[in-house]
Amino acid sequence: MQIVLVGVDHTSAPIQLREQLACAPRQVAALLRAVRQEAQEAVLLSTCNRFELYAVLEAEQGGREVLLPVLCEQRAVERELLEQHCYTYSDLEAARHLFGVACGLYSLIPGEPQIQGQVADALELAQGGSFAGPVLSALFRAALVTGKRARRETGISRRAVSISHAAVQLARQLFPRLNEASVLLVGSGQMSELAARNLCDNGARRLVIVNRTAEHARQLVEQLGERASLRPFSELAAALVEADVVITSTTAPHTVVTEEMMRAVLPQRQERPLLIIDIALPRDVDPAVGALPGVHLYNIDDLRLVVDEGIRLRLQEVAQVERIIAEEVEDFARWLSSLSVTDTIVELREHVEALRRQELARTLRQLTPSLSERELAAIQELTTRLINKVLHKPVTRLKEAAAAGRGHVYAEALRYLFDLEVATDDEQTGDRDARQQAGPGADADGDRQVTAAASRAGDPG
């Protein structure tokens, strides 16, 4: 068995290829269904900046040779083009890559939080269609744990790294209780919408939008719901009197907030501080406004300095994030290694359990008439606990050996010492089905009686 990743991202492939490969949620199932014709498990992570297919294949299968033809056929992409721009990882390197993705290390903006939800959505979609099995489910869950650790234990996602986030960060510095502040948005374009959404995500509850085109502003108000209201552009001065935070982002060719306007507004504000963030180009606010008492004015260049500093500080966290990734990859490696001895452990337990039942049944045929139901249950509990205690140390050591890469040696020794035969898949499935249908203890009359007695008597303590 091997884990294989084939993918492209914004660093390896042009946007045209990423557009061809990109899958909407409704298209993912068809692609994964085609992949499952060749693979045991499959999960697709498709975002605007990356397209990564994770699969579990047989050890002898070549990942690229198996997966690339399926991708090319399903997404109508030329094999040569995909070969040129894709990357491939297997096993722990694939795990290390996915963990880094979940932490935001490979995002366009380092540490961006959206990728965490996208990884979770990819897993949920694959599990919903039964495309992800135990290995990829464990891999993606471990990636989500790694991403959460990185954001909790480091500053990889804490600093502002976009203009709209920087604007909100400035607002929170001056008004920590942003939910009580009155926010005025002058303009309703994309920048204003991003700023408004970030403000709402950070607690803002009173947003007033002023825009020359009422229809566009009305659409934004409807999107924001009860938190937002609309005022005509002619009431800009009155809105400035009431505001605590002002974010301007119009396309006007000249300033819309003049020094003269602000000199008339300030006396009505009763010395309340005013934060003005001008993210328009050309600027919406006369630079002279920044020299007026109680006014804190920032323009887009000021915000870019905040963004650059945020990115610099985030990049300083990379080494710490990589340490977390290394720890989580090591944990996943131990789990992955344990799979190589799982069958041996299961067969050993079944072998010993069969012996327990056989000997218990032989003993109970001599003792049953004179034993109460509680005594029968106690004997059942005693033999089960004894077997578990005897097996605990060997099983633990076998898992440790597997984690160290020596599991096959000890697994073969156990098979030899306990004379465990390798059953075919059909035999194992048949035995498993028979046990499920018959219930526990169906092989021996005496043990079946004890099981029934234990169930009536309850836990003997």
Three-state DSSP state, 182:
strand
Pick the closest to residue 20 from 84, 77, 83, 70 (CA basis): 77
**What sign has the CA pseudo-torsion 268, 272, 278, 279?**
negative
User: What distance, in Å, lies between the first and last C-alpha atoms of the chain?
Assistant: 43
d(CA 370, CA 376): 10
Candidate list 48, 72, 103, 200, residue with the active-site label:
48
Helices (H), 40-90: 63-75, 79-85
By the 8 A CB rule, do 275 and 237 touch?
no
165: closest CA among 216, 220, 109? Answer: 109
Interatomic CA distance for residues 42 and 305, integer angstroms: 43
Clarify whether 23 is annotated catalytic.
no
CB 247 within 8 Å of CB 184: yes
Q: Where are the beta strands (DSSP E) in 70-215?
A: 87-90, 182-186, 206-211
3-state DSSP assignment of residue 431: helix
- The token pair at 138 is 């464990």
Q: What are phi and psi of 409, to 5 degrees?
A: -65, -50
- For residue 208, the cross-strand partners are 184, 229
Q: Give the separation between CA 203 and CA 179, rounded to whole angstroms.
A: 5
- C-beta separation of 206 from 227 below 8 A: yes
**Residue 251: phi, psi to the nearest 5?**
-105, 20
Query: Could you give the residue numbers annotated as active site?
Result: 48
